[in-house]
Amino acid sequence: MRAMTYDQYGDPSTLQLTERPTPRVAPGAVLIRVERASVNPVDWKAMAGGLDPLMDAVFPVVPGWDVAGVVEAVGPDTPEFRPGDRVAAYGRKDVLQGGTYAELVALPATSVSAIPDGVGFDVAAALPLVGLTALRSLEALELTAEDTLLLHAASGGVGHLAAQLAREVGATVIGTASPHNHEALRALGVTPVAHGEGLVERVREVAPDGVSAVADFVGGVREETLALLAEGGRHVSIADPSVEESGGRWLWVRPDGARLAGLLEKVDRGVLDVQIDRTFPLAEAGAALEASRDGAARGKLLIDPTS
């Protein structure tokens, strides 16, 4: 099968289009023919060695954790799926090795969800990591309709989904973003504020008593978070482990096919909208990673192994 691989840590320019063996399909696993993979910042961070203190890398590494495609084969004792099923998954494994920037990927069935008929491969591939991260953040905060939630980086991949999920439960949402993204946040029912110097004062203008919950999707904002939290407030971060020193939670999203199924159903019902920027052919995955690293994309970047 064709796959993009790297033989050592480095930047996206070291990715190469190679031929790799078809992955074996273990008991309780499915082999997926990839229609779309999606790019996440963790892909290029891992490629640069950023996860080396946490995860082993078995070179050559195929990057990528998000996938949507069609079940090619199932392993023994995998009654949940059969060949031909349309599926999606957040496919993080315990090591960096067999990722989704490839024509085929094998994943545990517990990570995989069926795609509803009304959801296309593009959206299904763009959703898993960011959607599950947003969902787990709000679950950790135990968010309710009585809460006022501050989202740091509310217009980003995780943030725009967390905003929609928070509004669905009835919470009041304030979101930080660059001014050119404020109108998009207003369309989601979010009160936008500019990030950067003076953030605390700007948030206090719309929430004089502070906020009851904060989700940090960017890092480097712990002091602002603590300055704005009302007494008894809760906060989580996916980017700053130091929040645990001040009563917060540092989160890593987990593969979870059941929760992903719920998110896909929300997309199918029109409750959740996933923003997509553009699609790259497999051979140009390095350019997709560069575009992600540059931070200029407005929505998720996808990779098409069929082209």
131-250 and 2-127+274-304 share a CATH fold: no
298 pLDDT band, cuts 50/70/90, is: confident
> pTM for the full model?
0.97
Q: What is the pLDDT of residues 141-153, one digit of tens each?
A: 999 999 999 999 9
Dihedral angle, C-alpha 65, 68, 72, 76, nearest 10 °: 60
Q: How far apart are CA 154 and CA 215, in angstroms?
A: 9
Contact 225, 250 (CB under 8 A): no
Q: Average per-residue pLDDT in the chain? A: 97
Judged against a pLDDT cut of 90, whether residue 160 lies above it is answered with yes
Per the listing, tokens 């024509």 go with: 103
- pLDDT for the residue numbered 295: 82
Asked if the bond preceding 76 is cis, omega within 30° of 0, the reply is no
Burial of residue 116 (number of CB atoms within 10 Å: 0-12, 13-18, 19+): middle
Q: How far apart are CA 29 and CA 24, in angstroms?
A: 9
Judged against a pLDDT cut of 90, whether residue 19 lies above it is answered with yes
Judged against a pLDDT cut of 80, whether residue 296 lies above it is answered with no
Judged against a pLDDT cut of 90, whether residue 57 lies above it is answered with yes
First to last CA, the chain: 13
User: Beta partners for 250?
Assistant: 237
101 pLDDT band, cuts 50/70/90, is: very high
- pLDDT for the residue numbered 301: 97
Angle (deg, nearest 10), helices 257-268 and 128-141: 100
**Going by C-beta distance under 8 Å and a sequence separation of 6 or more, which residues neighbour residue 230?**
209, 210, 211, 212
280: left (phi over 0), alpha (psi -120 to 50) or beta: beta
Burial of residue 307 (number of CB atoms within 10 Å: 0-12, 13-18, 19+): exposed
Task: For the domain made up of 2-127+274-304, give the CATH fold.
Answer: Quinone Oxidoreductase; Chain A, domain 1 (3.90.180)
Q: What is the pLDDT of residues 237-285, one digit of tens each?
A: 999 999 999 999 999 999 999 999 999 999 999 999 999 999 999 999 9
The per-residue DSSP string of 141-191 comes to: HT--TT-EEEEETTTSHHHHHHHHHHHHTT-EEEEEE-GGGHHHHHHTT-E
Q: How far apart are CA 101 and CA 51, in angstroms?
A: 18
Tokens of 259: 């929760």
Query: In the chain, where are the structural domains located?
Result: 2-127+274-304, 131-250
> Domain 131-250 maps to which CATH number in 3.40.50.300, 3.90.550.10, 3.40.50.720, 3.30.930.10?
3.40.50.720
- pLDDT for the residue numbered 297: 79
Q: What is the pLDDT of residues 167-200, one digit of tens each?
A: 999 999 999 999 999 999 999 999 999 999 999 9
- pLDDT for the residue numbered 118: 97
Contact 272, 295 (CB under 8 A): no
